[in-house]
Amino acid sequence: MEATSRYWEDLYHELEQRGYQLCLLHPRQTHQFHEQQGLRAKTDRLDAKTIARVLLSGEARAGYVPSDQLAAYRELVRLHTHLSDEAARYQNEIQSLVVVLFPEFTQVTARPCLPNAMAVLTAYPHAQAIVEAGVEPIFYLLHSVSPPHYGRPTAEKLVALARQSASSRRALAGRALSLQVICDQLVHTRENLARLEAEIEHLLADDPGVKGVQQIQAFGPKTIAVLRAELGDGDRFARTDHIIAYGGMDIEIKESGRWKGKAKLSKRGSGLLRRMLYLAALRSTHTDGSPFGAYYHHLVARGLNKGSALMAVMRKMLAVTAHLLKYPEAYEPTKVCRHPTA
């Protein structure tokens, strides 16, 4: 059967329990075979025939079916990534709304997405509302949210700035409601992210397979969970180049006769995996004592451009992680780079 979203899982495991021999096909595999046959139409009947022809051709490659634990990792890290992106969008929208509703607000609180700032914006979403409320209600609100940091002078400054605000007051009611709703959404999204992070840490604590990877200082809990979710079991890949290709960090070259195209990354693997490795690699280049950072600076010193050196660090991180997942041994930083940091 073809792996389409989550729809295959119930049927797959039911048939597996009944003793059927199963082969899970990646949609890309069947799609390529469909195109090779010169078929343009796409219907359920044709899809079933394509799957049958793939099996009969002997070219079928069985897809990876993760265990319960790895499936849990995948659910958690992918939802966490989705909610993190949502939270970033909410923060950008709050910033843009504050600019038109009360542009002077950032003179008091430079970051309007902090909990104390959002409490004020939710209760008084524009400059006129702050003026009408006066000093005392705002003071009590700030004091209840963050007692040690904000007092009456902060409330007085907010009210004074609100009286002289440059806000145009255009679409005031609609924008004020938008700000309140988005602040509420951001609060709930952050609460859900905290729940997911707690569950991810619980999974990591009960997973002996990640003990070696947890010793890598460049990786935080989210990075380790993504690596575990995307790479799966340690013996899933036979060779290191297969792992690099799965991460989409292999080089794709196109040539025809005398024409040679520009070599570039294939980017066909897990985008989430590349994203987390990029952030970890970038962080390591600014971390003192990091062997991956030392490896990066060594490559740059030899003349490699910074982008290529960063990609080499990502590949190194991926190879080291796969090795530690496959073999239960301690992480040895000296094997990553033997060259001192420049």
Question: Which of 158, 184, 203 corresponds to the end of one domain?
Answer: 203
Residue-wise pLDDT tens digits, 81-123: 999 999 999 999 999 999 999 999 999 988 999 988 999 999 9
Domain that holds residue 149: 69-203
- Tell me the C-alpha distance between 64 and 156, whole Å: 62
Indicate whether 75 and 198 sit together in one domain. Answer: yes
Q: Does residue 97 lie in a domain region?
A: yes
Indicate whether 163 and 240 sit together in one domain. Answer: no
Q: How is residue 90 written in tokens?
A: 């909410």
Indicate whether 91 and 33 sit together in one domain. Answer: no
Cβ within 8 Å of residue 335, ≥6 positions away: 320
What are the two backbone dihedrals, phi and then psi, of residue 63, each rounded to the nearest 5 degrees? Answer: -75, 165
Q: Does residue 64 lie in a domain region?
A: no
Between the alpha carbon of residue 286 and those of residues 224, 227, 292, the distances in Å are: 20, 22, 10
Indicate whether 155 and 139 sit together in one domain. Answer: yes
Indicate whether 241 and 115 sit together in one domain. Answer: no
Instruction: State the average pLDDT over residues 169-184.
Output: 95
Burial of 279 (0-12, 13-18, 19+ CB in 10 A): middle
Burial of 337 (0-12, 13-18, 19+ CB in 10 A): buried
Indicate whether 231 and 105 sit together in one domain. Answer: no
Q: Does residue 283 lie in a domain region?
A: yes
Indicate whether 96 and 22 sit together in one domain. Answer: no
pLDDT at 146 over 60: yes
Residue-wise pLDDT tens digits, 222-252: 999 999 999 987 778 888 888 888 888 887 7
How high is the pLDDT of residue 3?
A: 85
Question: Which of 203, 223, 247 corresponds to the end of one domain?
Answer: 203
What are the two backbone dihedrals, phi and then psi, of residue 255, each rounded to the nearest 5 degrees? Answer: -135, 150
Instruction: State the average pLDDT over residues 122-138.
Output: 94
How high is the pLDDT of residue 206?
A: 93
Residue-wise pLDDT tens digits, 9-27: 999 999 999 999 998 888 8
pLDDT at 339 over 70: no
pLDDT at 342 over 50: no
Q: How is residue 241 written in tokens?
A: 């180049």
Indicate whether 157 and 217 sit together in one domain. Answer: no
What are the two backbone dihedrals, phi and then psi, of residue 256, each rounded to the nearest 5 degrees? Answer: -155, 110
Indicate whether 94 and 155 sit together in one domain. Answer: yes
Q: Does residue 4 lie in a domain region?
A: no
Q: Does residue 62 lie in a domain region?
A: no
Domain with 125 in it: what CATH number?
Answer: 1.10.287.4070
pLDDT at 202 over 90: yes
How high is the pLDDT of residue 62?
A: 83
In sequence order, what DSSP letters do the residues of 192-229 get, joined into one string? Answer: HHHHHHHHHHHHHHT-GGGTTGGG-TT--HHHHHHHHH
Indicate whether 291 and 323 sit together in one domain. Answer: yes
Residue-wise pLDDT tens digits, 282-316: 999 998 889 999 999 999 999 999 999 999 999 99
| Total number of domains constituting the chain | 3
Instruction: State the average pLDDT over residues 270-285.
Output: 92
Helical ranges in the chain per DSSP H? 9-17, 27-36, 44-57, 68-101, 115-123, 127-133, 135-145, 152-163, 172-205, 221-231, 240-246, 271-284, 291-301, 306-326
pTM of this structure? 0.85
What are the two backbone dihedrals, phi and then psi, of residue 263, each rounded to the nearest 5 degrees? Answer: -70, 135
Indicate whether 127 and 84 sit together in one domain. Answer: yes
Indicate whether 112 and 199 sit together in one domain. Answer: yes
pLDDT at 327 over 90: no
